[in-house]
Amino acid sequence: MTALLGLATRLGLARLLLITGTRADVGDLAGFIDAGFAGGVDMVQLRDPDADEAALLAALKVMREIGYRYQGLVSVYDSGSLAEKFQSDLLHLSERGEKASIARTHLHQWGLIGRSCHSTEQIDAAIADPDVNYLTVGPVYGGLPMGDAGLALVRHAAKAAPTSSAESKPWFAVGGITASNLDEVLDAGARRIAVSRAITDADDPEAAAMALKDRLRHVWNEDPAMQNLTLRMFQN
């Protein structure tokens, strides 16, 4: 369990979520994660269907050790047993994952639960579920739905859980988001994003993360409502 306090506050202030595998093929996980956090990543989710539990646990420990220095969050994906062994602060459930109330039994009392949402119905259900603390919405691009349909999901989430409200659950737009299409996603109402290849495939992961984070920071700073949210989160 992370020794730092204020998990919910740190989640509420998070803007950039990085989804990555163990990077066993290149063997640079520690350097990559450090570059991501240095570039402004707030939260890392480990997702690697090809890795066994031992490899995942080892990778998570590396992520947590590095993330601690940046007050970054580390999330387990869709495995309550792994989250329990890791003593994870966050467990992110797939759209078909177990009930959040059951998944919560694998976490410590301050642990947070996320849920992947791919439809308006799933978004509404996650918002209504008292055991879900945050959600991801998409895929915006490169999947079904995609393009206009994916942006429609973002607009629905922005209406159902206004990003500037401290009472709203934090949500991250996800799926094919890059520096080149980020403005379109922000225009649809997102203020937090989750990315993978935009950083994992970059020649300079730190610079790629910094470019995304700078744009997100600019939008937050230019919006009085988001500035007020930041103040309220720190007060909490």
| Contacts by 139-145, CB closer than 8 A, 24 or more apart | 139/174, 139/175, 139/176, 140/173, 140/174, 140/175, 140/176, 140/177, 140/185, 141/175, 141/176, 141/177, 141/181, 142/175, 142/176, 143/175, 143/176, 145/118
Residue 72 included in any domain: yes
Q: Provide the whole-model pTM.
A: 0.95
Residue 2 included in any domain: no
Q: Pick out the chain residues at pLDDT < 70.
A: 1-5, 144-147, 236
Residue 20 included in any domain: yes
Contact 13, 42 (CB under 8 A): yes
Task: Give the C-alpha separation, 34 to 55, whole Å.
Answer: 19
Domain span at residue 178 reads 7-235
Residue 1 included in any domain: no
Task: Give the C-alpha separation, 92 to 23, whole Å.
Answer: 20
Percent share of the chain, pLDDT over 70: 96
Residue 128 included in any domain: yes
Q: Per the structure, how many domains does the chain have? A: 1
Task: Give the C-alpha separation, 100 to 51, whole Å.
Answer: 24
Q: What is the pLDDT of residue 11?
A: 95
Residue 123 included in any domain: yes
Residue 84 included in any domain: yes
Q: What is the end-to-end Cα distance of the chain in Å, rounded?
A: 21
Q: What is the pLDDT of residue 99?
A: 96
Helix (H, G, I), strand (E, B) or coil at 131: coil
